[in-house]
């Protein structure tokens, strides 16, 4: 067996902390003396209910979630929320506002109008205005004050864009609905600035299968009985997240990740580490004399998903092939963009970024 360290740069399902995986391994057949695995445990058992309760409480502590917000662990991935937020929050409203800044917000924009009579208004278009190399400032969002909500994606994994300054709207504006899948728990945010935050677990929390929804309590009043219970936020809240069987094992792993984050010093400490990792990698790209290229405006560069290219398709493919043999895995860019993408979420250690930079320099010496 090779002794070369393996670093997983996948955008999702993504890297998990080694200590979390070791704990899961040790508890696979016998969780906490119960004699059986969480994977085979009744979701209504006292043992699993305790796992769910502590996962929620740890998440609340890490994000400082106010008491007037409910937390749900749902299924369907973040993509299911593109429709679920409209079905629940747009009843009685003529429109919702949509900010498009990259691949995932463009998909959300296209999906949100399919199960609602509300018009999906394009409040800002980063593709039209910036070709997805910069972000439309919040001050330029064309928001209708009478819209049900304003939807945006805070970090675009495909195009490597991130709102460095966390967006906030004035009190007289509609509530913000944020897809925070690829950056949740990577930096401090004020949850009270949002109506809804949702995030698929498989990027910065745990394995795929669980989706976290954080919703302000008063918005549950908009949830109509006409919305089927399985898609109805209020129904899930009223049944303590147990309307149907939740993704028990992903919730268990997510809880272990929350504990790991606490042991690392919490979200504030992770923000410091993530800033260092991103700055180190971008400095290597910018310092390559043009061999490596990142066309994203410096003020909009993602700290989670760093995209770059040599400008030559064949050379990019060779980079991905050779880096794989060095233990630097899944560095290929998104299928429609090509190039390279290094996802450096919370669980990616600084050593992984340094190993990538070392290979980048060597690759440039040989092919530059």
Catalytic residues: 104, 179, 203
Contacts of 292 (CB under 8 A, 6+ apart): 284, 285, 308, 309, 310, 360, 364
Asked whether the beta carbons of 195 and 219 are under 8 A apart, the reply is: yes
Angstrom distance (rounded) from CA 146 to CA 77? 29
Q: Are 307 and 159 in contact (CB under 8 A)?
A: yes
Terminal Cα distance for the chain, rounded: 32
Token pair recorded at residue 90: 């747009």
| CA 167 – CA 164 distance, rounded (Å) | 9
Closest Cα partner for 292 from 359, 211, 205, 236? Answer: 359
C-alpha count within 13 angstroms, C-beta hemisphere, residue 224: 13
- Judged on CB neighbours under 10 Å (0-12, 13-18, 19+), 26 is exposed
Angle at 210 between CA 43 and CA 45, to 5 degrees: 10
């Amino acid at each position: 067996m090779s002794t070369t360290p393996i670093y997983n740069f996948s955008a999702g399902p993504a890297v998990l902390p080694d200590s979390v995986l070791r704990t899961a391994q040790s508890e696979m057949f016998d969780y906490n003396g119960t004699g059986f695995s969480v994977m085979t445990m009744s979701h209504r058992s006292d043992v699993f209910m305790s796992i769910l309760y502590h996962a929620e409480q740890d998440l609340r502590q890490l994000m400082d979630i106010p008491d007037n917000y409910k937390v749900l662990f749902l299924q369907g991935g973040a993509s299911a929320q593109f429709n679920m937020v409209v079905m629940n929050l747009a009843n009685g409203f003529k429109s919702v506002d949509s900010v498009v800044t990259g691949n995932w917000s463009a998909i959300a924009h296209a999906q949100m109008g399919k199960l609602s009579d509300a018009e999906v208004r394009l409040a800002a278009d980063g593709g039209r205005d910036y070709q997805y190399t910069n972000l439309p400032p919040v001050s330029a969002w064309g928001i209708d004050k009478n819209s049900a909500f304003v939807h945006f994606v805070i970090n675009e994994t495909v195009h490597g864009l991130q709102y460095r300054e966390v967006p906030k709207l004035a009190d007289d504006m509609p509530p913000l609905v944020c897809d925070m899948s690829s950056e949740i728990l990577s930096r401090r945010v004020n949850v009270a600035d949002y109506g809804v935050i949702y995030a698929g677990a498989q990027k910065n929390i745990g394995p795929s299968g669980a989706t976290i929804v954080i919703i302000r309590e008063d918005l549950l009043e908009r949830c109509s009985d006409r919305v089927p219970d399985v898609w109805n936020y209020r129904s899930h809240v009223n049944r303590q997240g147990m309307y149907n069987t939740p993704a028990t094992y992903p919730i268990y792993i997510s809880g272990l990740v929350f504990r790991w984050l606490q042991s690392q010093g919490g979200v504030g400490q992770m923000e410091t580490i993530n800033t260092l990792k991103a700055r180190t990698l971008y400095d290597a790209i910018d310092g390559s004399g043009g061999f490596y290229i990142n066309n994203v405006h410096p003020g909009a560069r993602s700290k989670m998903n760093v995209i770059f290219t040599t400008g030559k398709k064949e050379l990019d493919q060779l980079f991905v092939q050779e880096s794989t043999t060095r233990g630097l895995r899944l560095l290929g860019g998104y299928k429609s963009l090509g190039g390279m993408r290094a996802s450096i979420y919370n669980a990616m250690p600084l050593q992984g970024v340094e190993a990538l930079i070392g290979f980048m320099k060597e690759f440039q010496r040989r092919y530059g």
